[in-house]
Chain A
Amino acid sequence: MTEVDTLPPNTADPGTTAALSVDGLWKVFGPRADKVIGTPDAELPRPELLKKTGCVAAVKEVSFDVAPGEVFVVMGLSGSGKSTLVRCLTRLIEPTAGTVTIDGHDITNASDAQLRDLRRHHVSMVFQHFGLLPHRQVIDNVAYGLEIRGVSKAERRKKAGEIVDLVGLTGNEQSYPDQLSGGMQQRVGLARALAGDPSLLLFDEPFSALDPLIRRDMQNEVIRLQEDLQKTMVFITHDLQEALKLGDRILIMRDGAIVQVGTPADVVANPADDYVRDFVSDVPRSHVLTLRYVMREPRPDDSSEGPIMSPDTIVRQAARAALASDHVVRVVDNGELVGIVDDDAILRIVVAEESVSP
């Protein structure tokens, strides 16, 4: 081990430590990129900025925090700057401005050695096109991260073997990447990321290149791993279904800037603008919305004999019981009545959905 550098000390307030904190992050590609930020030019739409300065503002003033163990999804159309954003987090792409803090360590000012240490021990990434080493067997692909840390061959193969089993690749240790299907290759990519036992996992559209059925399997795999391992995850996707399925919170990007951050139900119920509304228009709302988003204020004349439910109950799950009862549903949070859901409210959601997808 030659790498004695470790990350700069944790300077953050221990009470509020986020696993990942991004503050005012910019990435501008092009000549004299740093001169663009802070000028009125930075506010220009992309084509005009490109014409005027030859620069592309791929990420514009992005800030967010991710809590430990949270799955944070970043979503947006192609070209909205998602890949650039996620690469800036470990400085695979050098940010133009702003700070990134991981587990309280300032990444943006880390030295090369500190950065390597961060990538070896704290953060791993899974890529859309896998990026496996074609001349190495699965087991040695998975072990590569350990190898460059200087872990002995026997030890790293043992550890890699465990991870290979964990991601369901048992029996394929000796295969070469080109002998595996796309889904299997991405499992190798996942295993490689997990082998270093990082606390933060980054995914850049990891399943976009896969068939829909395989994609669903892989999504379930991620959910399962998340339940077992409780990693913090930043997950990039352009697929809203995937975002809703995996995300604790969703950040929606457009042309490099944040449009909206919120829980899945938040985003579906209260789209910030037409861009987001367009995105969520096809979503089966009853699958996503919780009672919190459809309830109304309690009134004195409301029946108090209906079923009691939590505000986080998903509409679809509430529908049958609510419609079966003659009384309105009472939404109770921490023993306090916070709202009422009547049949109309439920039918509005369910029927509207029918008209979208008959």
Chain B
Amino acid sequence: MSSIATVRPKTHDTGALATLRARWRLVSLLAVVAMWVLVWAFTRGEQTLAIQASDRTDIHGWFLARTTAIENADNVVTSLLAALSSGMDATLLFLQHLFTVPEYPRPYPQIGWLGALAIASLAAYAVAGWRQVLVVAPSFLLFGLLGYYEDAMDLLIVTGVAVAVALLIGIPLGIWMGHSKIVAAVVTPVLDVMQTMPSFVYLLPFSILFGIGPAVAALVTLVYAMPPSVRVTAYAVRGVSTTTLEATDSLGQNRWQRLRHVELPMAKRTIIVGVNQTTMAALAMATIAAYVDGPGLGQPVLEGLRRGQLGKSFVAGLAIVIMAIMLDRTTTAASTRSDRVARGDRDTGRVRTVALVAGTVVTLAAVYLSNSYTWANQFPEGVNIGDPISTKVDDLADWLRSDLSAITTGVQETFTLYFLNPVQDLVANSPWFVAGLAILAIAWIVGGVRALGAAAVCLAGIYWLDLWNNAMITLTAVLVATVVVMILGLAVGVWMGRSQVVDRSVRPVLDAAQTMPPFVYLIPVLVLFDANRFTAMVAGIIYAAPVAIKLIADGVSGVSATTVEAAESAGSSRLQMITKVQLPMARGSILLAANQGLLYVLSMVVIGGMVGAGALGFDIVYGFRQANFAGKGLAAGITIVLIGIMLDRITTYGARRAQSPGRATVRRKRLSLSRAET
């Protein structure tokens, strides 16, 4: 009894303090914004540091000189890079000669569609079970039916080679990181930055180092795709039961035996989850690598977008979606299956051996046929469903734009006029130091001193890179789109978090949506809306919504059942339950959702540079097209990275902060509830 008496006032105090602090934070945020608006009203349009798209400054010239110097340099590093590039080229060309590119004097590639289909099916059976054959074989047929068999194979080759190398480096590195705290401390921040960098940003520096073509596509893909496998492997190795490690150590195993017999088998399943993530990241990057002339399905998508042939992009995008589903299903199935394989189930083991032998024979036959007969080599042209789909989509787009333009344009204009433009006016048309100070103040209020420091460094960098105004325009697009993402996330996330039935039906859709390469999201949006910044934002919203929804749903459903029960028995209404109990307790998850939302939107808004989103994305695209603007493009890329790091740091520190006082608030609530109960 006495202990309760002493504890209660203390808890109450910290709770009240936390509430006060939260209130204070909100009030000061509003105050900062109000001040900003006030100052803006008098200084609007002054010192915005805006420059024309065709303008270049000294710093951009400096970058250009550096890139030229790198391109023309002749030293150990460059020859090493050249060797790397030509090695990759040779590997890719070898595989392309096998599957997609005829090697003179042969008119066709060595292995045609039938052989490839058989090989893929056999591989799927071997790593993921017979069910996956039912996913893989139809997928291959669909690539052919859609008319993109060669492009699909090229994309698979680039993705496959990149994934193989990424895993070859990433898994050992992850194991090392899992074993050594020092390595982890060194590698983790690098991975953090790599994973906050939008995929698009990787392209320009790689094309400066390696030129354009298949090799650079594979290299940039493997670098972009490696972090998840490193991180997940380290996590998996660290997660191996310490009791089991201790017990097996006590038997006198050496380090190699420990790794081989204990750690790897026990971490295997999780490591394959990392393989899945790396594969999906590689697919995303390999499609975007069409910008640097990477072969594969990204090419027709990009071509369609450039020429306004949406139908073409759509069909190629469909093939990408099919490939994404195929790869995701197969690697996921491989992960769940690995346990059963490790157990070597005896009966199925024998069936499996027989099936594998039979499958190998059939595959060899198919490979032979596809090598010798045209019908098995070239996918029959007669059965094409891609062209009709393409035409239908073009018609649909025309219809939407003409007959339905009242709605589509209406939505677009309302949003732009009443929401996007005012925000952009404030952020981008304030004098640079006013906007900068306001952002610093907001960073400080949300994330504390460390966020303030990070924001200051990033903003200084952005200022120095001479792209301040464009950065503010891009930042606006990101913020506005993220607001919509969060509204969606809260609505759907709370709904899912409160009902298992809803969760179970919505989650698979979100999971599927998350596996799609970002490139694909642009296409349907472009069918609806003209190419401009609004379109890119919509694509960004669709791209970012799933991850935000899932995080919020997990946060809400993670609120302990006892707390919910206590609140219920205290007579909370549904709204009270959501606003007073579930959302406050899920605060950390909500900020994490905002964090992920911001980064996802950022990467999409940047890709949108080529469909009229302008600002930094455009600067990068222009950097590819015009050699003279490579310096400016590079500066734009770094600016985007700085924006990403700034947003990431502010929200991460904010989320960390929200977690501790949040708990105190909740404790106080629970206490007052139990009091109300008695």
Contact = CB atoms under 8 A, between A and B. Distances in A.
Interface of B: 241, 243-254, 257, 261-262, 265-266, 339, 342-343
A120 B261 contact: no
23 contacts: A90-B250, A116-B253, A116-B254, A120-B251, A120-B252, A123-B250, A127-B243, A129-B243, A131-B246, A133-B244, A133-B261, A133-B262, A133-B265, A133-B266, A134-B244, A135-B265, A135-B266, A135-B343, A144-B251, A144-B261, A148-B252, A148-B261, A196-B251
A207 interface: no
Contacts of B245: 131
Contacts of A125: 247, 250
Contacts of A144: 248, 251, 261
A124 B250 contact: yes
A167 B464 CA distance: 74
Contacts, number: 72
B247 A135 contact: no
B251 A135 contact: no
A119 B253 CA distance: 8
A127 B247 contact: yes
Interface residues of A, number: 32
Nearest to B243: A131
A166 interface: no
A129 B245 CA distance: 12
Identify the interface centre among B241, B250, B257, B342: most chain A CB within 10 Å of its CB.
Answer: B250
Contacts of A124: 250-251
Contacts of B241: 131
Contacts of A341: none
Contacts of B262: 133
A311 interface: no
A196 B249 CA distance: 14
A145 B252 contact: yes
Given A131-B247, A145-B251, A148-B261, 13 more contacts: A92-B249, A115-B252, A117-B252, A119-B250, A120-B251, A127-B246, A129-B243, A130-B247, A131-B241, A131-B244, A132-B244, A135-B265, A148-B252
Interface in A130-179: 130-135, 144-145, 147-149, 176
Contact of B252 (A118, A127, A133): A118
Given A148-B257, A148-B261, A176-B343, A131 B248 contact: yes
Contacts of A176: 343
A192 B250 CA distance: 11
A189 interface: yes
Contacts of A87: 246
Identify the interface centre among A87, A121, A131, A145: most chain B CB within 10 Å of its CB.
Answer: A131
Contacts of B253: 116, 148
Contacts of A135: 265-266, 339, 342-343
A243 B342 CA distance: 40
A119 B247 contact: no
Contact of A133 (B246, B248, B249, B339): B248
Nearest to A117: B252
Contacts of A192: 247, 251
B336 to A, nearest CB: 14
Nearest to A137: B343
B57 to A, nearest CB: 51
Chain B interface main SS type: helix
Given A133-B261, A135-B342, A149 B246 contact: no
A148 B342 contact: no
Nearest to A132: B244
Nearest to B251: A145
Contacts of B249: 92, 119
B252 A92 contact: no
9 interchain residue pairs of minimum CB distance: A131-B247, A119-B252, A120-B252, A131-B243, A145-B251, A116-B252, A135-B342, A125-B250, A131-B244
Contacts of A120: 251-252
A189 B247 contact: yes
B106 to A, nearest CB: 47
A130 B245 CA distance: 11
Contacts of B244: 131-134
A121 B252 CA distance: 9
Nearest to A149: B252
A350 B339 CA distance: 58
Contacts of A121: 252
Interface string A87-131: 100101000000000000000000000011111110111011111
Identify the interface centre among B245, B261, B266: most chain A CB within 10 Å of its CB.
Answer: B261
Nearest to B257: A148
A6 B261 CA distance: 24
Interface in A60-101: 87, 90, 92
Interface string A247-261: 000000000000000
Contacts of A148: 251-254, 257, 261
B576 to A, nearest CB: 42
A127 B342 CA distance: 24
A202 B250 CA distance: 10
A85 to B, nearest CB: 15
Contacts of A92: 246, 249-250
A132 B245 CA distance: 9
B119 to A, nearest CB: 29
Contacts of A129: 243
B243 A130 contact: yes
B251 A119 contact: yes
Contacts of A116: 252-254
A74 B613 CA distance: 72
B267 to A, nearest CB: 11
Identify the interface centre among B241, B247, B257, B342: most chain A CB within 10 Å of its CB.
Answer: B247
A123 B243 CA distance: 17
B264 to A, nearest CB: 10
Nearest to B339: A135
Nearest to B250: A125
Contacts of B248: 131, 133, 144
A340 B64 CA distance: 106
Nearest to A90: B250
B260 to A, nearest CB: 10
Nearest to A129: B243
B413 to A, nearest CB: 60
A215 to B, nearest CB: 19
A250 B127 CA distance: 55
B247 to A, nearest CB: 3
A267 to B, nearest CB: 29
A120 B250 CA distance: 8
Contacts of A202: 250
Contacts of B339: 135
Contacts of B343: 135, 176
Contacts of A119: 249-252
A344 B169 CA distance: 81
A196 B339 CA distance: 28
A129 B251 CA distance: 16
Nearest to A127: B247
Identify the interface centre among B252, B254, B261, B265: most chain A CB within 10 Å of its CB.
Answer: B252
A213 to B, nearest CB: 24
A114 to B, nearest CB: 10
Interface in A174-205: 176, 189, 192, 196, 202
Contacts of A189: 247
Nearest to B255: A112
Identify the interface centre among A130, A144, A149: most chain B CB within 10 Å of its CB.
Answer: A144
A141 to B, nearest CB: 10
